[in-house]
Amino acid sequence: MRQSAPGFQRNGPLDSTGLPRYPSLRPPPPARISIPRAAVLSSCCFRLRYAPAAPSTMVGLSEGEKHFIRGGIAQDLRTDGRRRLQFRAISVETGVILQANGSARVRLGATEVIATVKAELGKPSILHPDKGKVSIFVDCSPTAAPMFEGRGSEEFSAELSVALQRCLLGGKSGAGAAIDLSSLIVIDGKVCWDLYIDGLVVSSDGNLLDALAAAIKVALSDTGIPKVNVSLSATTDEEPEVDVSDEEFLQFDTSSVPVIVTLMKVGKHYIVDAASEEESQMSSAVSVSVNRHGQICGLIKRGGAGLDPTVIFDMISVAKHVSQQFISVLDSEILAAEAAR
Amino acid sequence: MEYVNPLTGFRVDGRRPNEAWLTLHGLGIAQMRQLKGEVGVVARADGSALFEMGNTRVIAAVYGPREVQNKGQQVNSKEALVRCEYRMADFSTGDRRRKPKGDRRSTEISLVIRQTMEASILTHLMPRSQIDIFVQVLQADGGTRAACINAATLALADAGIPMRDIVTSCSAGYLCSTPLLDLNYIEDSAGGPDVTVGILAKMDKVTLLQMDAKLPMDTFETVMELAIEGCKAIANYIREVLLENTKRLECQRG
């Protein structure tokens, strides 16, 4: 013991890497290229503003694999055998969460999301006394990817929530919303329905935004809002008595709820419904939300690379075309899911 | 409120507490809520499972064994590092509320699950590696702790992680002077004692034992015995699920 003690002191205690714990005794770190502070700062801002569609760090691809994916897209034959504008097989299930007023599970290949709609009685805002409130929250479960553990999913979840809110709920006034907000009113200025739409990403293999939007569309079509009987008291100051029915439910008109189609640009071409390996190769992406009548309800451009305006217009028209097929597939899946229940 | 109907002897959800206590030994899962286990529900995880106990429904996903991501967390380089995160979906409870991530309850349950699973994983076979267990509650109707442990066991088995034994867990309580197995949310929030037991099924050892509220010693013995019986019934079911899955895999292999 005595002999080892001085040596121990000289070298310092070793940590698990077998290196001395004191920084001064460690071998010097590998030479680092110094980056001007301003450059570091701007690259940080860049990353925050244009967060990629899916965290690309989770796919580790070799140069050969990257080349293979890009080459396949250029030849209109993707790694899973699809064409550029072809979706993966979609499967839809409704009524999966019993506590919610409406719920749906949507699977797009290996991507799986659950959307639920919960209705609660609340008070309309003072600015819009004739309208109900709808809010969308998305959570990415760590079961989908280890990087969503702890607070790791917050930034990405918030990005998805905001994108969905923008595409489905329109502006702050409620104009252009997928759901007619005035249908949520029970008593003007006093009682309205608050719809809480929660999305949960259970398994992630790319194209989460489109899957979530589709799941929300299905969940809304599954939603039944209890019928409310109001007995207005004589004095208007009092809280109105509201009797919520257990048996009668009202359905929404969900025909105008849009779907989101994300076109990802890889090389010179763009693809729909990218898997996460393909997503990691994209240079930029345009998410277009289109309703049944072919009207564009929202648009988000993501990714760092710039796009030529004509390319964007081209992408929008392609998205419009693809979305109509997607809506009809989704509609038939909704009917099948309702029949299966 | 009557949690056990004095006339019919039924529980709030129509289960029989007394008769089943007898049939439990013979028939298995009479008194428990309906169990459902499914393996491989998350395509990209190394192992995953869905486990349902009545209306309680959880998904577990296992990533690993893989290289330790954060070297600072590695305590012993001769053993695998087991980590666990428990999360509840916003819509999982009856009244919707947004809870901050990592609240005390979640942290405590994460810890409980981690310690319970660590006891059965052969960590010394996977030095310098890390195993992540993520548990997501989709529907909470009492007994989430137990359901999470059962789901984690299934997911670990699906991931092919070497384990000493199957760990299963079940809760039991004591209401209206009747021992009750596998409490649901209404019974759980009735204020009676809630005993959660986790066992290593084949070795017949208790790895998890938690109880709140007080209970006379002799009653506690009965309740705990009941919970252990429940755990064994679940272990049998989990074995069936795994066997079924293995058969399916064998079929696919041809």
ipTM, 2 dp = 0.89
Structure tokens given for A105:
């599970």
Residue B101: predicted pLDDT: 67
Structure tokens given for A192:
């309205």
Whether residue A203 and residue B136 make contact (CB cut-off 8 A), yes or no, is: no
Whether residue B90 and residue A98 make contact (CB cut-off 8 A), yes or no, is: no
pLDDT in tens, A310-330: 999 999 999 999 999 999 999
* Number of domains into which chain A is organized: 1
Among B55, B98, B136, the residue with its CB nearest the CB of A98 is B55
pLDDT in tens, A268-305: 999 999 999 999 999 999 999 999 998 888 899 988 78
In chain B, residues with a C-beta closer than 8 Å to the C-beta of A150 are 85, 101-102
In a domain, A177, yes or no: yes
Task: Give the number of A-B residue pairs with CB atoms closer than 8 Å.
Answer: 92
Residue A179 has pLDDT above 90, yes or no: no
Q: Maximum CA pair distance of chain B?
A: 61
pLDDT class for A24, splitting at 50, 70, 90? very low
Cβ atoms of A186 and A227 closer than 8 Å:
no
Q: What is the mean pLDDT of residues B155-172?
A: 95
**Where are the extended beta strands (E) located within B16-142?**
35-39, 47-53, 56-67, 81-88, 129-139
Structure tokens given for B30:
């009479």
Residue A237: predicted pLDDT: 61
Residue B18: predicted pLDDT: 55
pLDDT in tens, B102-120: 689 999 999 999 999 999 9
Residue A51: predicted pLDDT: 38
For the ranges A238-242, A318-322, B72-76, B155-159, which has the lowest average pLDDT?
Answer: A238-242
Residue B156 backbone phi and psi in degrees, to 5:
-65, -40
Q: What is the H or E stretch that residue B246 is in? A: helix B217-253
Residue A332 backbone phi and psi in degrees, to 5:
-70, -35
The percent of chain B in helix, strand and coil, each rounded to the nearest 5, is 35, 30, 35
In a domain, A33, yes or no: no
For the ranges B20-24, B30-34, B249-253, which has the lowest average pLDDT?
Answer: B20-24
Identify the CATH number of the domain in which residue A185 sits: 3.30.230.70
Q: Which residues 84-113 of A are in CB contact (within 8 Å) with B?
A: 97-100, 103, 109-110, 112
In a domain, A180, yes or no: yes
Share of chain A above pLDDT 90, in %: 50
Among A143, A151, A154, the residue with its CB nearest the CB of B134 is A143
* CA distances, B125 to each of B76, B79, B128, B163 (Å): 13, 7, 10, 10
In a domain, A286, yes or no: yes
> Where would I find the H helices in B77-143?
104-120
Cβ atoms of B188 and B143 closer than 8 Å:
yes
What is the radius of gyration, based on Cα positions, of chain A? 26
Q: Which of A59, A56, A299 is nearest to A156 (CA)?
A: A56
Q: What is the mean pLDDT of residues A144-165?
A: 91
Cβ atoms of B140 and B71 closer than 8 Å:
no
Cβ atoms of B64 and B159 closer than 8 Å:
yes
Q: Is the peptide bond before B65 cis (omega within 30 degrees of 0)?
A: yes
Higher pLDDT, B179 or B81: B81
For the ranges A309-318, B110-119, B150-159, B211-220, which has the lowest average pLDDT?
Answer: B211-220
Angstrom distance (rounded) from CA A279 to CA A78: 12
For A189, the domain range is: 67-340
Burial class (CB in 10 A: 0-12, 13-18, 19+), A199: buried
Residue A16 has pLDDT above 60, yes or no: no
Alpha carbon B248 to its chain centroid, in Å, reads: 24
Among A151, A202, A204, the residue with its CB nearest the CB of B101 is A151
Cβ atoms of A90 and A104 closer than 8 Å:
no
* Structural domain B18-253, CATH architecture: 2-Layer Sandwich (3.30)
Contacts of B22 (CB under 8 A, 6+ apart): none
Residue A74 has pLDDT above 70, yes or no: yes
Q: Which residues 62-81 of B are in CB contact (within 8 Å) with A?
A: 63, 69, 71, 74, 77
Residue B1 has pLDDT above 60, yes or no: yes
Cβ atoms of A271 and A73 closer than 8 Å:
yes
Residue A39: predicted pLDDT: 41
In a domain, A111, yes or no: yes
